[in-house]
Amino acid sequence: MFNSLYRNLLNNLVSKVVFAGLLTTTLLASPQLSAKGVYQSGPDFFAEVFAQQQPEAGVLWLNSSIRQQAEKILGRKVLGLRVRYQHSAGKTAWILNEIGKEMPITIGVVIDQGKISSVKILAYRESRGGEVRYPAYMAQYQGATLTDKYKLDKSIDGITGATLSVWAVNKVAALALYYHSQAMPQPESTN
């Protein structure tokens, strides 16, 4: 009895030491990467997008037809009355929020002449699926346009176990393309 108790204790102790060692190594080895949190503020995002230009602030009012289409794209109610954006020479930049599984993901989308020129995750708050912010994932959206069914014309390879986060980014990318088409009816127009 005492013998088995002692053995158990010893085993537990050895395992604990091994585990603590593993933990310490992992903690020390991991560099300071941010898996969750705010990566870039809105003003910094706009400043980066329009580095060489003087962008103008625009407001897209969500009239009933724009709202209806936006709701179709997102598959949910759209709250708010207007969407603010920045634009210069036919290029627009949007910051939109969409819930992945439970928490909102803040996504910056840049559209140039009706095509996505970049998508960037500005803040990620979900426990899983943080991979969407990697440049390799974001690069998949480059050049995407809107089909006549208001979907992206490119297929996006997802993340196992975080499908909802990928869907959220897909929806926001499609929505930004649609908003762009409403804000800039003529591709060449600057207003």
Partner 1 sequence: MKKQLLATLIGLSFAATTQAATPSVEEMWEIIQKQQAEISTLKNQLNKNDSRITETEIIAEATISAVEEIALAPAASNKTHIGGYGELHYNNLEKDDGSGDKDEVDFHRFVLFTSHQFSDSIRFFSELEVEHSIAGDGQVGEVELEQAYIEWDMANNKTAKAGLFLMPVGILNETHEPDTFYGTERNAVEKNIIPATWWEAGAALSGELSPGLSYDVAAHSGLFLDDGEYKPRDGRQKVGKAKADDMAFTGRLKYTAIPGLELAASLQMQTDMRQGEGEKIDGTLFETHIAWQRDDFQLRALYATWDFDDAINSIKAGADEQTGFYIEPSYKLTDKLGVFARFSEYDNTVGSATDSAIEQIDLGLNYWLHPNVVFKIDYQNQDNSSGTGSDGVNIGVGFSY
Residues that bind partner 1 (CB under 8 A): 4-5, 7-8, 11-12, 15-16, 18-19, 22-23, 26-27, 29-37, 79-82, 99, 101-104, 125, 127, 130-131, 134, 136-137, 140, 155-161, 163, 167
What is the closest distance, in whole angstroms, from the C-beta atom of residue 89 to partner 1 in the complex? Answer: 28
Q: Which residues of 113-137 are buried (b: 16+ CB within 10 A; e: fewer)?
A: eebbbbbbbbbbebeebbbbbeeeb
Closer to partner 1 by CB, 43 or 135: give it.
135
What is the closest distance, in whole angstroms, from the C-beta atom of residue 54 to partner 1 in the complex? Answer: 24
Kindly tell me the burial class for residue 155, based on how many C-beta atoms sit within 10 Å of its own C-beta (0-12, 13-18, 19 or more): exposed
Closer to partner 1 by CB, 43 or 80: give it.
80
What is the closest distance, in whole angstroms, from the C-beta atom of residue 62 to partner 1 in the complex? Answer: 10
Q: How far, in whole angstroms, is CA 18 from its chain's centroid? A: 38
| Rounded Cα distance, 143 and 148, in Å | 16
